[in-house]
Chains A and B, each alone.
Chain A
Amino acid sequence: MISDMAGLEKTIAEVIKEYLSGGAAAWAGKNGRPAADAPDRGGAVLRDITGQAAREAEFVSGALDREAILAMKRRTSARIGIGRAGPRLLTQTMLTLRADHAAARDAVLKDVDPDMLRSLGFIELESRCADRQEFLTRPDLGRALSDGAVDALLEKCVPNPDIQVFVADGLSSSAVTANLPDLWPCLMDGLHEAGVKTGTPFFVRFGRVALMDQVSELLGAKAVCALIGERPGLSAAESLSAYVAYGAKTGMDESGRTVVSNIHGNGIPAVEAGAYLAELLQAVLRAKASGIAFRKDDGL
């Protein structure tokens, strides 16, 4: 595992700087127009090969109806209409694929931005996993708080809230970093406007969904909501999910949880998800139920 992330980032920045100073016009590619938001680096341009514009630029050659293929491409994040070189992918497609794969790996391996957590007033706790390797190989340890975290939870968190919302990195730290700053205040404003008593916010490193059961029991919360980064794919590395359980307890059925998934820039916008969750959580409290026992149209 990479231990010195800051050092690595510095090295990469230096390499890029060196590269750019060496006349990087060629980097833009022979038919590559710079992306609209490409940073200006003194005449040289780095093209974003992962954005929507790049997706549309990868194109099967000799299309009869270019517009029709574009319309299809816009409807899906699947890599369709991308052309080929013999039996293989074109170089550009290959590079985009690898860039997306790298973003997915980053999402799993990176840490959530600690400054962001602190600025939102989160207490930082951890599961029983000692490191990321263990987190990835031992799901059971990710479902419980470490002994120290249990003590900290009992000491610092308000007991018996109506709703305890907490955040865990899960399989995408990027999802938490990208969505939490806008989702969290919107969710809290919505709940507080309705007079719901919320718990003390905390973040669990190396945490998994079922950790909410232990949290519920320790704090005596009526309902728990866990915001967790989703396993990244090649089309969305920043997707966040919210799991909600009423009266959660260790060993409960997974069918007792209500899930809202796909919270990200190209899915449900973070602020909209915050407002939706605020209403959903109130409905769960009213219905005193979650998962399959909770019918969304009863309360929403």
Chain B
Amino acid sequence: MGDVSILSVGIDIGTATSQIVLARLVLANAAGCFEIPRVAFKDKTVLHNGVVRLTPLSPSGLLDGDALRKIAEDEYRAAGVSANDVDVGAVIATGEAARKENAAIILESLAGMAGDFVVAMAGPDLEAVLAGRGSGAERASRLNGSAVVNLDVGGGTANIALFKDGAVLSKGSYDIGGRMVRVSGGVISHVSDGAARIAKTAGISAVPGMAADLRLLRDVCDHAARLLEEALEDKTPSPLLASLVSPGASVFRASLPIDGICFSGGVAECMRQGQGDYFRYGDVGPLLGEAISRTRLCSAFRRLAPAETVRATAVGAGCYSAEVSGSTIAQDDRALPLKNLPVLKLNRDEQTRCYEGDSAFLEEKIRGFMAQNGWIWPALAFRGEANPSYARLNALAACLSEALAKTLPPDAPFVLVLECDTAKALGQALRARRGGGAVVCVDSARVETGDYIDLGRPLMGGAALPIVVKTLVTGC
């Protein structure tokens, strides 16, 4: 089997800055010639590292769609690619840019710019993970079998992910960032809700219109940095820290001793730059960076040099948002690509009931899920059993087939996502029961209820599919 390369785009629209990264992902058959094919990423190369630009955000917090589209067009031109060449990708919008009204603007302005795939908005959890992959924290944890935290501090949010041996153990996001206080002409021009709460708790008065006093703002940043320090301690968070958890984010927990820490994001770039005019960016980013340098975050853990700072999220989105399914799967060209399918995941007990043929239960479960999700039909996910008998597999197929046929629209494909390597056999058994309807059944993919997935066009003669798992889709 020859290698296949796909073009992936990562677009990071943050509160302060936006970047676009184009990456070439090479897929190859990693199995020996006497084995069933195993399609895996062989190489990931950043083709084009876009300029770090200010996010075109109006004072009211709304994105300028035209300006955004122009940024994307300029970067594609600079990279020498056309939108049609792009196979997969993700748009990460965070902080102010992630407001609900902005989702529609992003979708509209970037329509047709991200290839087959609908622009996918990732939530703060996924951003934290992608930043950790882009910064190299995940790689460091994988190579050394160690526990590495990535702290990505941007304009609006601080995203934390804990990796152990390459796996994500915990992730979270807090409304702490370089642009929580903005400064213009020596005067404080904006104080975010989060910054206002931090200042209030610390007994500091900082409101728009006040002079931008260095000592006062340094004090606010010191308190903010100590909250990040607190987030990494394995204990119940203070009410203030709990109130700063970003909307839609998980609560981070450092569940095991941390071996190393890696800083990314715009504030990490400020830390790298060192001293200068503190208000050179019209915000407290450099001050916050300096405050972080003074905390235990920088003395208690081994500090790892990031591969990327301000672009970590964009590189992560470009290189790591697409995964590849197992290589023995059932797919149907007529049904692919599929976009933004909500995931309904069965737990172990529910899965067992399905293997035992309880289709009435499953039917109710699917109908309940669809009722809560605007009657959009889901991708049904479960772990699966590792080595089922053919009889048990058929009982499962009969149960799934009956429940799905009764709940899904007649023309909707059956979409199943398993972890255990039995997707091709289950797909075959489902196809036999479905007549001509489409069945897409993939394995070696881990998803959870609440996730959304995109399934791309088949790769390598249909051996595998690209999968993008998203934690949040807004306005799609």
On A, residues with C-beta under 8 Å from B are 65, 68, 71, 181-183, 185-186, 189-190, 193, 241, 259-262, 265, 268-276, 278-279, 295-300
* A residues in contact with B390, CB < 8 Å: 181-183, 185-186, 270-271, 274
Identify B35's interface contact among A65, A260, A270, CB under 8 A.
A260
Give 27 CB contacts A-B under 8 Å. Answer: A68-B165, A71-B145, A182-B389, A186-B390, A186-B429, A189-B428, A189-B429, A241-B34, A261-B34, A261-B35, A268-B36, A269-B387, A271-B389, A271-B393, A272-B421, A272-B423, A274-B390, A275-B330, A275-B427, A276-B36, A276-B424, A278-B428, A279-B424, A296-B1, A297-B2, A298-B461, A300-B37
Find out whether the CB atom of B461 lies under 8 angstroms from the CB atom of A275. no
* B residues in contact with A185, CB < 8 Å: 390
Tell whether B247 is near chain A: CB-to-CB under 8 Å. no
Tell whether B44 is near chain A: CB-to-CB under 8 Å. no
Number of A-B contacts (CB under 8 A): 91
A190 to B386, CA, bound (A): 20
* B residues in contact with A298, CB < 8 Å: 461
Evaluate whether A269 and B34 lie within 8 angstroms (CB atoms) in the complex, with A189-B428, A278-B428, A299-B461 already known: no
Considering only CB atoms, which chain B residue lies closest to A291 in the complex? Answer: B33
* B residues in contact with A269, CB < 8 Å: 386-388, 420-422, 425
* A residues in contact with B461, CB < 8 Å: 296-300
Find out whether the CB atom of B463 lies under 8 angstroms from the CB atom of A297. yes
Top 3 nearest A-B pairs (CB, nearest first) are: A297-B461, A271-B425, A275-B425
* B residues in contact with A268, CB < 8 Å: 36, 328, 421
Find out whether the CB atom of A300 lies under 8 angstroms from the CB atom of B462. yes
Find out whether the CB atom of B424 lies under 8 angstroms from the CB atom of A275. yes
A274 to B428, CA, bound (A): 10
* A residues in contact with B387, CB < 8 Å: 265, 269-270
Interfacial residues of chain B within 371-387, with CB under 8 A of chain A in the complex: 386-387
Evaluate whether A276 and B328 lie within 8 angstroms (CB atoms) in the complex, with A182-B390, A193-B431, A269-B422 already known: yes
* A residues in contact with B111, CB < 8 Å: none
Evaluate whether A271 and B388 lie within 8 angstroms (CB atoms) in the complex, with A71-B165, A259-B34, A295-B1 already known: yes
If A272-B422, A278-B428 are given as contacts, then 19 extra A-B residue pairs at C-beta distance below 8 Å, sorted by A number, are A68-B165, A185-B390, A186-B428, A193-B432, A259-B33, A260-B36, A262-B35, A265-B387, A269-B388, A269-B420, A269-B425, A271-B390, A274-B390, A275-B328, A275-B425, A275-B427, A295-B1, A296-B461, A297-B460
A228 to B244, CA, bound (A): 62
Interfacial residues of chain B within 396-411, with CB under 8 A of chain A in the complex: none
Report the count of interface residues on B (CB-CB < 8 A).
32
A272 to B428, CA, bound (A): 10
Interfacial residues of chain B within 270-287, with CB under 8 A of chain A in the complex: none
A241 to B34, CA, bound (A): 9
Find out whether the CB atom of B425 lies under 8 angstroms from the CB atom of A274. yes
A193 to B390, CA, bound (A): 16
Identify B37's interface contact among A68, A190, A296, CB under 8 A.
A296
| Central interface residue in A186, A275, A278, by most chain B CB within 10 Å | A275
* B residues in contact with A241, CB < 8 Å: 34
Find out whether the CB atom of B422 lies under 8 angstroms from the CB atom of A271. yes
A181 to B420, CA, bound (A): 20
* B residues in contact with A259, CB < 8 Å: 33-34
* B residues in contact with A275, CB < 8 Å: 328, 330, 424-425, 427-428
Distance to closest chain A CB from B166 (angstroms): 10
Distance to closest chain A CB from B426 (angstroms): 8
* A residues in contact with B2, CB < 8 Å: 297
Distance to closest chain A CB from B400 (angstroms): 15
Against A, the Cβ 8 Å flags (1 = close, 0 = not) of B255-296 are 000000000000000000000000000000000000000000
* B residues in contact with A272, CB < 8 Å: 328, 421-425
* A residues in contact with B330, CB < 8 Å: 275
Against A, the Cβ 8 Å flags (1 = close, 0 = not) of B449-463 are 000000000001111
A299 to B422, CA, bound (A): 21
A278 to B462, CA, bound (A): 15
* A residues in contact with B463, CB < 8 Å: 296-297, 300
A71 to B424, CA, bound (A): 29
Find out whether the CB atom of B428 lies under 8 angstroms from the CB atom of A190. yes
Identify A297's interface contact among B1, B33, B429, CB under 8 A.
B1
Find out whether the CB atom of A68 lies under 8 angstroms from the CB atom of B386. no
A65 to B147, CA, bound (A): 12
Distance to closest chain A CB from B351 (angstroms): 16
Considering only CB atoms, which chain A residue lies closest to B462 in the complex? Answer: A300
A270 to B165, CA, bound (A): 31
* B residues in contact with A181, CB < 8 Å: 389-390
Interfacial residues of chain B within 431-446, with CB under 8 A of chain A in the complex: 431-432
* B residues in contact with A186, CB < 8 Å: 390, 393, 425, 428-429
Considering only CB atoms, which chain B residue lies closest to A274 in the complex? Answer: B425
A274 to B432, CA, bound (A): 15
* A residues in contact with B431, CB < 8 Å: 193
A2 to B215, CA, bound (A): 91
Interfacial residues of chain B within 107-143, with CB under 8 A of chain A in the complex: none
Distance to closest chain B CB from A45 (angstroms): 25
A260 to B89, CA, bound (A): 34
* B residues in contact with A273, CB < 8 Å: 36
* B residues in contact with A260, CB < 8 Å: 34-36
* A residues in contact with B388, CB < 8 Å: 182, 269, 271
| Central interface residue in A68, A296, A298, by most chain B CB within 10 Å | A296
A182 to B33, CA, bound (A): 24
| Central interface residue in A265, A272, A274, A300, by most chain B CB within 10 Å | A272
